[in-house]
């Protein structure tokens, strides 16, 4: 049985705190969702702002190709425009919001209406009969204009619990108006699966059109409620990518799609390799929304298939299914073995497979002992796997540094005598760094400037290294994190710096620890550059 996936990331998801998509972001996400086989994409609320109205005009012409220039028509998905029932006291054809839906050119209109008598009388402040007319008239008008109409029954589960007879009347009004599908909405996110199941069973005999489900996550069961809805006959599930949305968010379509495709029997979602690309989709949306990945996110998070405890890793090395409910590859993710003071020999063996050192028991012990020692000092290698790779090389005698640090100096000057700029902001500090390094037996003394001490050090070090290692021009800093380790020491506390770097092939993280944040940053920065240079060597040898 095919289950329609209706994505509302671009509308409901954009209402989440800190989420803001540009018009181009919305078009790119639309293209990606279409590629993977999502059925409906709710592009926005055209009556609310110019950006959403413009989105529908643009998407009617085509969407950007993800991997190249130009635009293309949608291959599978249908875009839906969101709106509300007409205002009280006027005809549907005179309502500006409904006119915006018609002018949007969207083939599908999703109309939200009041299903709870409390909201009709206390929020809309209209009579119960007028609300029924608003629902019926609005849907009938859009249907007469050739639109497919889905009816979002807002506060459906709460409304049915309070006044089931009136809730059924609102559904009847929607069907009489010509709604193609009814969507049962847990708008407040307060329902539990057993309530969802019982309500749908009670309503089904009164419904003569297909129905779907739309859940919010305020009780942390939006995915469970959505799957319960499918079990009880829903043929459409609405939600957002990564569960973003207002308050605690919406049902996460990533988890819903994976569960329907991989865990439940007889349900089909997405097309082609859509399920295998769920991790790619999740991270793509995070990047466009400028949000941090949620490491513990089921199926697609970086920690979803990460193993740290020695006993777990030992078992996974023998039988992956012993601690993994699915193979990570089926959703485009990967298995990760973490190394920390909790690790056992199995973790080290798993992490060093590519070095072919597993048979050297003494080396395995040295590596583990060194990890425990450094983590006791504040290092954390599970978040800095590139630094761990360098540690292994050092313990195995395979490490030959590409350069040697001889000296560095950082100078920060703040001139309070300078005037503020036109916006009233104080003058920026002047930061300079001098680096003295030895490369292939020759000493280089260079200086660099930057927006801060770490940036200045990076610029100076690159200036010294680029003539010998031109590939460093492709390396960039992606993220920089500082954490105080022993906060009881106050300003003398030790800090841990993790730097995330990237080139055109991969992303890697390195770590440094010191009482001095600049020294900790330098350690992580040097590791990042060393790792890049070693990786370039490995790629070059593999190509020969």
CA distance 228 to 259: 12
Minimum mean pLDDT among 21-30, 202-211, 347-356, 456-465: which range? 347-356
Q: Given pLDDT bands bounded at 50, 70 and 90, which one contains residue 493?
A: confident
pLDDT for 365: 79
Residue 98: CB atoms within 10 Å: 27
* Backbone torsions φ then ψ of 460, nearest 5 degrees: -65, -45
Minimum mean pLDDT among 13-17, 69-73, 527-531: which range? 69-73
Minimum mean pLDDT among 100-104, 271-275, 313-317: which range? 313-317
Burial 444-473 (b: 16+ CB within 10 A, else e): bebebebebbbbbbbbbbbebbeeebebbe
- Whether the per-residue pLDDT at 340 is higher than 70: the answer is no
pLDDT for 417: 60
For residue 10, the 8-state DSSP code is T
- Whether the per-residue pLDDT at 382 is higher than 90: the answer is no
- Whether the per-residue pLDDT at 141 is higher than 90: the answer is yes
According to the CATH classification, is domain 85-238 in 3.20.20.70? yes
pLDDT for 144: 96
CA dihedral (45, 46, 52, 56) positive or negative: positive
pLDDT for 215: 98
Asked if 118 and 159 touch (Cβ cutoff 8 Å), the reply is yes
pLDDT for 236: 98
pLDDT for 358: 56
Minimum mean pLDDT among 131-140, 327-336, 366-375: which range? 366-375
29 three-class SS = helix
Asked if 308 and 350 touch (Cβ cutoff 8 Å), the reply is no
- Whether the per-residue pLDDT at 405 is higher than 90: the answer is no
Tokens 């998509």, residue located: 21
What are the domain boundaries of the chain?
8-75+239-295, 85-238, 306-376, 403-468
Average pLDDT over residues 240-267: 96
More confidently predicted of 68 and 538: 538
Q: The tokens of 184 are what?
A: 């049962």
Q: Given pLDDT bands bounded at 50, 70 and 90, which one contains residue 357?
A: low
pLDDT for 348: 60
Average pLDDT over residues 439-454: 89
Q: Given pLDDT bands bounded at 50, 70 and 90, which one contains residue 325?
A: confident
* Range among 41-50, 65-74, 321-330, 490-499 with highest mean pLDDT value: 41-50
Q: Given pLDDT bands bounded at 50, 70 and 90, which one contains residue 482?
A: confident
Exposed / middle / buried, residue 541 (Cβ in 10 Å: 0-12, 13-18, 19+): exposed
pLDDT for 320: 63
Q: Is the pTM of this model over 0.75?
A: no
pLDDT for 289: 87
CA distance 84 to 97: 7
Q: Given pLDDT bands bounded at 50, 70 and 90, which one contains residue 293?
A: confident
- Whether the per-residue pLDDT at 350 is higher than 60: the answer is no
Write down the CATH number for the domain with range 403-468.
3.30.160
- Whether the per-residue pLDDT at 487 is higher than 60: the answer is no
- The distance from CA 193 to its chain's CA centroid, rounded to whole angstroms, is 26
Average pLDDT over residues 445-463: 90
* Backbone torsions φ then ψ of 352, nearest 5 degrees: -110, 15
CA distance 300 to 323: 16
What's the whole-number average pLDDT of the chain?
88
End-to-end CA distance of the chain: 50
CA distance 2 to 98: 31
pLDDT for 30: 96
More confidently predicted of 153 and 340: 153
What does the pLDDT look like over 28-40, one tens digit per residue?
A: 899 999 999 999 9
Average pLDDT over residues 161-179: 97
Asked if 392 and 385 touch (Cβ cutoff 8 Å), the reply is no
- Rounded CA Rg of the chain: 29
Q: Given pLDDT bands bounded at 50, 70 and 90, which one contains residue 178?
A: very high
Residue 93: CB atoms within 10 Å: 13
pLDDT for 345: 54
Q: Determine the length of the chain.
A: 544
- Whether the per-residue pLDDT at 176 is higher than 90: the answer is yes
Average pLDDT over residues 126-142: 96
More confidently predicted of 151 and 307: 151
Q: What percent of the chain has pLDDT over 70?
A: 88
pLDDT for 299: 96
Asked if 140 and 185 touch (Cβ cutoff 8 Å), the reply is no
Tokens 């299903």, residue located: 115
pLDDT for 414: 73
pLDDT for 300: 94
Q: What count of Cα atoms within 13 Å lies in the side-chain half-sphere of residue 156?
A: 29
pLDDT for 315: 63
pLDDT for 321: 65
Exposed / middle / buried, residue 249 (Cβ in 10 Å: 0-12, 13-18, 19+): buried
- Whether the per-residue pLDDT at 155 is higher than 90: the answer is yes
pLDDT for 338: 63
Q: Given pLDDT bands bounded at 50, 70 and 90, which one contains residue 246?
A: very high
pLDDT for 309: 59
């Amino acid at each position: 049985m095919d289950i329609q996936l209706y994505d509302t990331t671009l509308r409901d998801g954009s209402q989440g705190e800190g989420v803001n998509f540009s018009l181009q972001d919305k078009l790119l996400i639309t293209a990606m969702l279409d590629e993977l086989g999502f059925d409906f994409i709710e592009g926005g609320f055209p009556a609310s702002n110019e950006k959403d109205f413009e989105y529908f005009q643009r998407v009617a012409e085509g969407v950007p190709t993800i991997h190249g220039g130009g635009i293309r028509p949608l291959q599978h998905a249908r875009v839906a425009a969101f709106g509300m029932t007409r205002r009280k006291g006027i005809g549907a054809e005179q309502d500006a919001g409904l006119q915006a839906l018609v002018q949007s050119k969207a083939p599908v209109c999703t109309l939200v209406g009041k299903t709870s008598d409390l909201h009709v009388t206390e929020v809309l402040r209209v009579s119960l009969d007028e609300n029924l007319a608003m629902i019926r008239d609005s849907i009938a008008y859009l249907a007469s204009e050739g639109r497919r109409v889905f009816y979002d029954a807002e506060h459906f589960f709460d409304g049915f619990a309070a006044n089931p007879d009136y809730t059924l009347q609102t559904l009847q009004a929607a069907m009489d108006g010509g709604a193609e599908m009814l969507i049962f909405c847990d708008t407040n996110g307060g329902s539990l699966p057993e309530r969802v199941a019982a309500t749908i069973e009670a309503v089904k005999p009164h419904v003569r059109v297909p129905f779907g489900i739309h859940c919010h996550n305020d009780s942390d069961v939006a995915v469970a409620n959505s799957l319960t809805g499918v079990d009880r006959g829903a043929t459409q599930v609405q939600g957002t990518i990564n569960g973003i949305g207002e308050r605690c968010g919406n049902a996460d379509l990533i988890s819903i799609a994976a569960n329907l495709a991989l865990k439940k029997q007889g349900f089909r979602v997405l097309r082609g390799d859509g399920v295998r690309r769920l991790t790619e989709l999740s991270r793509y949306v995070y990047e466009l929304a400028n949000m941090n990945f949620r490491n513990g996110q089921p199926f697609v998070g970086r920690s979803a298939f990460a193993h740290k405890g020695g006993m777990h890793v030992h078992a996974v090395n023998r039988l992956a299914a012993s601690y993994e409910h699915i193979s990570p590859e089926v959703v485009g993710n990967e298995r990760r073995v973490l190394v920390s003071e909790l690790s056992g020999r199995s973790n080290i063996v798993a992490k060093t497979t590519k070095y072919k050192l597993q048979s050297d028991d003494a080396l395995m012990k040295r590596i583990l002992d060194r990890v425990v020692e450094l983590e006791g000092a504040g290092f954390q290698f599970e978040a800095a796997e590139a630094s761990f790779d360098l540690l292994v090389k050092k313990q195995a005698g395979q490490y030959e540094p590409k350069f040697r640090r001889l000296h560095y100096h950082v100078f920060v000057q703040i001139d309070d005598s300078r005037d503020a700029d036109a916006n009233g902001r104080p003058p920026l500090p002047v930061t300079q760094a001098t680096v003295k390094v030895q490369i292939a037996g020759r000493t280089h003394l260079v200086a660099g400037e930057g927006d801060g001490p770490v940036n200045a050090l990076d610029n100076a070090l690159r200036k010294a290294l680029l003539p010998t290692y031109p590939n460093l021009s492709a390396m960039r800093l992606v993220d920089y994190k500082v954490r105080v380790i022993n906060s009881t020491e106050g300003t003398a506390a030790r800090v841990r710096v993790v730097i995330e770097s990237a080139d055109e092939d991969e992303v890697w993280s390195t770590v440094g620890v010191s009482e001095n944040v600049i020294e900790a940053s330098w350690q992580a920065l040097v590791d990042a550059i060393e790792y890049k240079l070693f990786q370039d060597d490995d790629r070059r040898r593999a190509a020969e």
